[in-house]
């Protein structure tokens, strides 16, 4: 007899994520939680190290080199990569067969880009909604099939 495919829900935003599954009774249960260490940090606090100093090729002047990207955006991208890697690891352990992504529109697009191909191939649906702060017992009204 063929077993039923196990569906996991990856609920994320730019700094929080959790993996949710349904138990035998149909109730949602959070399996794993993630929170970015930089979630509440101000952008100016993320780059508190002194900028790199370089010398001019011609002459004796020195100047600092500013980062090429927004540090808050980079922290968000790093966090989403961590989430994508965790999904790949859990799938490798056989924890789920199908995946539904739930995230705000911008985060959803970035998360999809970070997923490894085998994980991207098992995404059955996505929902553009921020449900990271919604408790497990309220998830059915948002995730129930229509």
Give the model's confidence band at 72: pLDDT under 50 very low, under 70 low, under 90 confident, else very high: confident
Q: CA angle, 137 as apex, 97 and 131 as ends, to 5°?
A: 70
pLDDT at 1 over 60: no
CATH classification number, 7-39+69-143, choose in 3.40.50.1860, 3.30.420.60, 3.40.50.300, 3.40.140.10:
3.30.420.60
Whole-prediction pTM? 0.77
Q: Is the pLDDT of residue 49 over 60?
A: no
Strands 123-128, 98-103: pairing is: parallel
DSSP 61-118: -EEEE--SS-HHHHHHHHHHHHHHHHHHHHHHTTS-SEEEEEE-HHHHHHHHHHS-HH
- Asked if the model's pLDDT at residue 64 lies above 80, the reply is no
CB atoms within 10 A of CB 82: 14
């Amino acid at each position: 007899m063929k077993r039923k495919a196990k569906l996991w829900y990856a609920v994320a935003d730019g700094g929080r994520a959790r993996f949710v599954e349904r138990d035998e009774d149909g109730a949602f249960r959070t399996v794993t939680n993630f929170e970015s260490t930089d979630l509440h940090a101000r952008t100016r606090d993320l780059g508190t190290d002194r900028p790199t100093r370089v010398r001019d090729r011609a002459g004796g002047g020195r100047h600092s080199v500013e980062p090429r990207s927004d540090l808050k955006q980079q922290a968000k991208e790093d966090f989403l990569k961590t989430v994508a890697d965790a999904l790949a690891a859990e799938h490798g352990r056989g924890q789920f067969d199908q995946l539904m992504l739930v995230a705000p529109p911008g985060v959803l697009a970035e998360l999809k880009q970070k997923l490894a191909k085998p994980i991207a191939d098992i995404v059955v649906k996505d929902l553009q909604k921020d449900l990271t702060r919604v408790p497990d017992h309220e998830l059915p009204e948002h995730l129930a099939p229509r």
